[in-house]
Amino acid sequence: MTDRTVSSAPARRPRRELSEGQLAAVLLAPALLVLGAVLLYPMLSTLYTSLLTQKLTEPWLGTPFSGLKNYVQLVHDARFWTALQHTLVFGVLTVSGSFLVGVPMALIAHWEGRLRPYARVAMLLPWAMPPTFTALTFQWMFNGQYGVVNDLLVRLGGEARSWLTQPVWAATALILTIIWKTSSFVALMVLGGLQGVPRELTEAAEVDGAGSWVSFWRVTVPLLAPTLAVAFIFRAISALQVFDIPYAFSGGGPAGATETLGIYIYRTSIEFLDFGYGAALAVALFAVSLGITAVYVRYVRGDQ
């Protein structure tokens, strides 16, 4: 509104100009306000709650300050360690799986050809699909009695499995589901990186007699390294925090075989109504995420 008066009536008395620093503060204020109120304050509140005893199931306890008691409990909690172990094992498998699938996907989607738009839609869909949709879709595909996965396995001479009721196979199915969903993200990042690789460079290498394979490894891959590193950090963080897909896919079961840290935090807080301990678990998850974030921030800063 203010700019309209300025541009349409240059003759009018000039407004008192804000200094650049003041203007920057004004422009940043809404963002910082929203981030502060909706992300930072709740996070601090979780930090504080983690130092309290706060169980809705035992309201007579009140909410006394209990120091590090929740963290001591955490260290001795076998279920926490199991959930952490699941999270790490799933993390290693799904992150590496998403690169193994996602990088070739990006290379294919980068080809010029009539099918490229279709390839891109197919590449983007898993990324953009709501995680609960993905979970339910794959749950149906992995159905032990009537699932299409078993059907295809049998047709190819394999053996039908009861995917969702046996711990190891449920975990396998979940990992495959997450790889399907997240490969797309890796492919998207790598495709972005590939578009930044100047074509002259790969062409020059090939003119110099390098095969396309050699030029790929010697020219393209090194140029992609920063993109791959960033994609890796983001994938690692989202793998640690994974919740939606396992929750909707298997709910942590069977027998806790797919319970990740995210699911355990949810159960502790929402189902067992133990807010204090749930908060301590959440802080533990946050601490690990923050560790990876610190690596990223350092990396980004080194870039500038």
89 binds another protein (CB under 8 A): no
Pairs from 137-145 (Cβ < 8 Å, separation ≥ 24): 138/173, 138/176, 138/177, 138/180, 138/249, 139/164, 139/248, 139/249, 139/250, 142/173, 142/177
**191 forms part of the interface with another protein (CB under 8 A):** yes
Backbone phi and psi for residue 162, each to the nearest 5 degrees, phi listed first? -90, 80
User: CA triplet 289, 292, 296: central angle to 5 degrees?
Assistant: 130
225 contributes a contact to another protein by CB under 8 A: no
Cβ atoms 131, 246 nearer than 8 A: no
Using CB under 8 A, which of 10, 13, 16, 156 touches another protein? 10
Residue range at the interface with another protein (CB under 8 A); choices 63-71, 77-85, 92-100, 235-243: 235-243
Q: How far apart are CA 214 and CA 226, in angstroms?
A: 20
Q: Is 84 in the site for another protein (CB under 8 A)?
A: no
Complex with another protein: residue 169 or 206, whichever CB lies closer: 206
- Binding test (CB under 8 A) with another protein, winner from 162, 234, 254, 257: 234
Q: Is 302 in the site for another protein (CB under 8 A)?
A: no
| Cα gap 39→196, rounded to integer Å | 34
Note whether 72 binds another protein by CB under 8 A: no
Task: Quote the least distance from Cβ 44 to another protein, whole Å.
Answer: 9
Question: What is the chain's length?
Answer: 304
Closest distance of CB 90 from another protein, Å: 15
Restricting to residues 277-296, which ones interact with another protein according to CB under 8 A?
278-279, 282-283, 285-286, 289-290, 292-293, 296
Q: Exactly one of 88, 108, 175, 228 binds another protein (CB under 8 A); which one?
A: 108
Q: Candidates 59, 130, 158, 222: give the one binding another protein (CB under 8 A).
A: 130
214 lies in the binding site for another protein (CB under 8 A): no
Binding of residue 157 to another protein (CB under 8 A): no
**Nearest residue (CB) to another protein, 2 versus 65:** 2
Among 244, 253, 256, 257, which residue interacts with another protein (rule: CB under 8 A)?
Answer: 244
Q: Please report, for residues 158, 186, 244, 245, 258, the alpha-carbon distance to residue 138 in angstroms, rounded to integers and kept in the order given.
A: 19, 20, 13, 10, 15
CA distances from 53 to 20, 234, 279 (A): 48, 34, 10
Of residues 120, 162, 253, 256, which one binds another protein by CB under 8 A? Answer: 120
Minimum distance from residue 244 beta carbon to another protein (Å): 5
The total of other beta-carbon atoms located within 10 Å of residue 300's CB is 12
